[in-house]
Amino acid sequence: MSTVRKAVIPAAGWGTRFLPFTKSVPKEMLPIIDRPAIQYIVEEAVAAGIEDILIITSPYKKAIEDHFDRTIELEGLLADGGKEVEAEQVRAIADLAEIHTIRQGQALGLGHAVGMARRHVGDEPFAVLLGDDMMHPSSPLLRDMIGATEERDTSTIALMRVPKEDVSLYGSAAVEPIEGAEPLVAVRGLVEKPRSEDAPSDLAVIGRYVFTAEIFEHIERTAPGKGGEIQLTDAMATLAAGSGVNGWVFEGGRYDVGNKVDYLRAILDLGSERDDIRPGLMRVVRDFVEREGLE
Ligand code: UTP
């Protein structure tokens, strides 16, 4: 099977959970310290060996397109002012990978967004990274999933155990073990946002997928489902029932940037790992813990 070189980042949703911020700024542009969340996601893809990235944007998300473009005037201004480090930082963003964008004119659902990548991706296997789901930079998840897909010529989706009360927020998977392949499991069924009593398991589908090109046929046959949207989960369910889908069960290192509290956790975690931020951040946290009596 061919290697996974391309990735798709759907980032065209409305981001209603983060209103009013998302009225004019894409949630994928939420800053984690000094970089937008989507830059971490692009860097994660590149670190896993991806060379070509297609970002699905919308008419309201021009800031994403601009962020990955050159800003010659700013680069010149910084260089002239002796700010070489900053100039290089700004320049490097445009060189991270071969980045393309395409607009989803209407947010008709995640399945529809991924389906828009068909011509760009062609017949190759490819990764999908959701634009509001961030992994810690040290996470091996995407690389592991790419390895599993290349080895078995089967799509691999990321699965995470969640508390029972949270299963209704995600796609939920029915799985069976694959002997000797742990943490890889065979996906036997998928349900989008089930009521907790109807969920097949506590394994939730998280925003990392590595698909064979076969997924596109399934997306095309998928009718609008939950919420009137073309659901990626429904297309994955028919793929699982046909030639099969595997799941990679992982733990930790994931931040749902579209969720306000998880967004704050991402800033705390990543800020505490940076030499320029850690001392000041720790003082703030210490004072806060004391004041709130959390010790
Ligand atoms: P979400 O359902 O989390 O995003 O979709 P949303 O609709 O933007 O957010 P809320 O729930 O209203 O707050 C997961 C990812 O899929 C993209 C989103 O941008 C997000 O990165 N998406 C969703 C699309 O690209 N197109 C769509 O039609 C729907």
Asked whether residue 1 carries a pLDDT value surpassing 70, the answer given is no
> pTM here?
0.95
Residue 17 Cα to ligand 1 middle (Å): 10
Q: What are the chain's domains?
A: 6-258 (3.90.550.10), 260-295 (no CATH)
Residue 184 in tokens: 């890889």
**Backbone dihedral angles phi then psi of residue 178, each to the nearest 5 degrees:** -110, 115
Q: Is residue 10 in contact with ligand 1, taking CB distance under 6 Å?
A: yes
Task: Find out whether 158 and 70 touch, Cβ atoms under 8 Å.
Answer: no
What is the model's pLDDT at position 37?
Answer: 97
User: Ligand 1, closest atom to CA 107?
Assistant: 28
Residue 82 Cα to ligand 1 middle (Å): 41
Which H or E element spans position 160?
Answer: strand 155-161
What is the model's pLDDT at position 295?
Answer: 76
DSSP line for 114-132: HHTTHHHHTTS-EEEE-TT
**Backbone dihedral angles phi then psi of residue 209, each to the nearest 5 degrees:** -140, 145
What is the model's pLDDT at position 226?
Answer: 86
Q: Is residue 16 in contact with ligand 1, taking CB distance under 6 Å?
A: yes
Q: Is residue 64 in contact with ligand 1, taking CB distance under 6 Å?
A: no
Could you report the per-residue pLDDT of 137-193, keeping only the tens digit for each?
999 999 999 999 999 999 999 999 999 899 999 999 999 999 999 999 999 999 999
User: Ligand 1, closest atom to CA 258?
Assistant: 13
User: SS3 string of 171-212?
Assistant: EEEEEEECCCCCCEEEEEEEEECCCHHHCCCCEEEEEEEEEC
User: Cis omega (within 30 of 0) on the bond before 183?
Assistant: yes
Ligand 1 atom 5: residue of nearest CA: 13
Could you report the per-residue pLDDT of 58-109, keeping only the tens digit for each?
998 999 999 998 889 999 999 999 999 999 999 989 889 999 999 999 999 9
What is the model's pLDDT at position 2?
Answer: 76
